[in-house]
């Protein structure tokens, strides 16, 4: 092994809490139940933490997609006058 360099040490994981799953699940639930814009924001936070900690960003993308579908569905229903909410 003379002349060869040893493998570099593994990169340390940034200190802090990995809230990827928390942001993703909250984004899905809140994005579908009440507030689509907040669901998109929470989905973004989930993707950001997934990149930071090396996790999977799937929950974040699901939260964003479902929140956008909720926003579009609500806009269509309000536009046609079929929205059962506040008038």
Question: Quick check: 21 and 59 in contact, CB under 8 A?
Answer: yes
Instruction: Specify the pLDDT at position 17.
Output: 79
- Give residue 45's pLDDT band: very low, low, confident or very high (50, 70, 90): very high
Instruction: Specify the pLDDT at position 3.
Output: 63
Q: Per-residue pLDDT averaged across 67-87, rounded?
A: 86
- 76 token code pair: 């269509």
pTM as predicted: 0.77
Query: Residue 12 CB: number of other CB atoms within 10 A?
Result: 6
The C-alpha angle 60, 64, 41, rounded to 5 degrees, equals: 80
Q: Where are the domains of the chain?
A: 20-80
| Rounded Cα distance, 8 and 12, in Å | 12
Please, what is the angle between helix 20-33 and helix 58-80, to 10°? 10
Instruction: Specify the pLDDT at position 11.
Output: 67
- Give residue 13's pLDDT band: very low, low, confident or very high (50, 70, 90): low
């Amino acid at each position: 092994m003379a002349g060869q360099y040893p493998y570099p040490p593994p990169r340390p994981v940034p200190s802090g809490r990995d809230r990827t799953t928390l942001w993703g699940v909250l984004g899905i639930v809140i994005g579908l139940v009440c507030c689509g814009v907040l669901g998109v924001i929470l989905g973004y936070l989930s993707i950001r933490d997934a990149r930071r900690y090396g996790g999977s960003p799937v929950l974040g993308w699901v939260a964003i997609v479902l929140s956008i579908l909720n926003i579009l569905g609500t806009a269509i229903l309000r536009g046609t006058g079929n929205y059962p909410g506040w008038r």
